[in-house]
Amino acid sequence: MTVTARRELVSPATRNAFRSLATDLTIRIVEELWENHGFAPIPPEELKYDDPGQRRTTFMLYAEGVDWSDPEHVRRALLVFKDFIRAYRDPDLQGTPKWLEDIGVRLERDGFLLDKSGRISWKHPPISLLARDLSALK
């Protein structure tokens, strides 16, 4: 019997792009953005990431706790990423900054869409996210 790993829905390249945004935010904000959507950090001794940057390391403590192949985890992580964009973006600047264009390209490669306001959506949502309890319908 062959065991196959489930495909990650968000690539390491996309996660790395968001990790880079953490560099310009405070550690407290990085923690809050993850915790606001129900994520907790993994224990530091379990982290398989080595970086002298505290903000990037804090980001990874949370990101490594995400099951990137689970549609529900990914749905919540996308909310975190949306909040990262809002926290990082300068609302006074006109147009789309290059960093946001780069993130949009990476998200698109992963099967997501990024609109002008920073919202992230699935191109083709997994069936499990579309399934709803229809028992109350008449």
Distance CA 9, CA 12 (A): 10
**Percentage above 70 pLDDT, the chain:** 87
Over residues 68-119, the pLDDT tens digits come to 999 999 999 999 999 999 998 877 777 778 899 999 999 999 999 999 888 9
| DSSP H helix total and E strand total for the chain | 6, 2
pLDDT over threshold 60, residue 132: no
Mean of pLDDT over the chain:
88
pTM equals 0.84
- pLDDT bin (cut points 50, 70, 90) of residue 5 is low
Q: Which residue has the higher pLDDT, 61 or 136?
A: 61
CA angle 65, 132, 77 (to 5 degrees): 20
d(CA 30, CA 23): 9
Mean per-residue pLDDT, 44-58: 95
